[in-house]
Amino acid sequence: ILFYHSVDEMLVPSKFVADLLHKRGLRNRKLLVLDRWVDVDRFRPDNRVTAYWQGFGIAADAVKFVYIGWVAIEKNLHVLAQAYRGLRDGQKNAHLIIVGDGPYRTTLEAQLQGLPVTFTGYLQGEELATALASCDVKVFPSTTDTWGNAPLEAQASGLPVIVTDIGGPAELMQDGVTGILCPPGDVAAL
């Protein structure tokens, strides 16, 4: 942001970003946090279809953990892979679902080889809303997101979320009420 010295007000996506800008020397400017929203007519709990994931070969009694987003290294998906591997040691009915695509997919598939994981690629519109509501837990291990609509859409769909306590997504939930905050990079906590 090269022009910020000449502005009186600046919109930022979260308190997290406002704090970062202050730490980097932005002073005497009014930072306005842009309120975000989610389309609650599209993302809602009654989109849940009990048998939806059976069409993907996932058992009806599986506990479905879902990551939705860009499949890239900066999303800390290697931490998710390690945490899921550990979870499966004690919870044989857990199933991980990755919705989205990106440059890290091949590496992530290799890290999760031999485990029950479903990669859907991109989903959109009503199919995305149904897929999300038909899961049980949204996992979002990223520490680089300034906001992250996916955790908000998951909560609107009735899912608890697990997010790191660094970044904008931590502002979108109540720890212990609508989800769980965990330290970044902490495989055991995740």
- Whole-angstrom distance, CA of residue 68 vs CA of residue 116: 17
Straight-line distance from the first to the last Cα atom of the chain, in angstroms, rounded to the nearest whole number? 33
| H or E stretch covering 31 | strand 30-33
Q: What pLDDT is stored for residue 53 in this prediction?
A: 98
Q: Confidence class of residue 5 from pLDDT cuts 50, 70 and 90?
A: low
Enter the tokens of residue 108: 């992530």
Query: Which DSSP state fits 125?
Result: H
**Confidence at residue 12, expressed as pLDDT on a 0 to 100 scale:** 73
The pLDDT of 76-84, averaged and rounded, is 98
Beta carbons within 8 Å of 5's beta carbon, 6+ residues apart: none
Q: In the predicted model, what is the mean pLDDT of the chain?
A: 90
**C-alpha angle 123/35/4, rounded to 5°?**
105
* pLDDT for the residue 6: 58
Angle at 179 between CA 178 and CA 180, to 5 degrees: 145
pLDDT more than 90, % of the chain: 70
pLDDT score for 28: 59
Q: What is the pTM of this model?
A: 0.84
H/E element, 23: helix 15-23
pLDDT at 34 over 80: no
Which pLDDT belongs to residue 29?
66
Task: Report the distance separating Cα 38 and Cα 108, nearest Å.
Answer: 29
Given a cut of 80, is residue 8 above it in pLDDT?
Answer: no
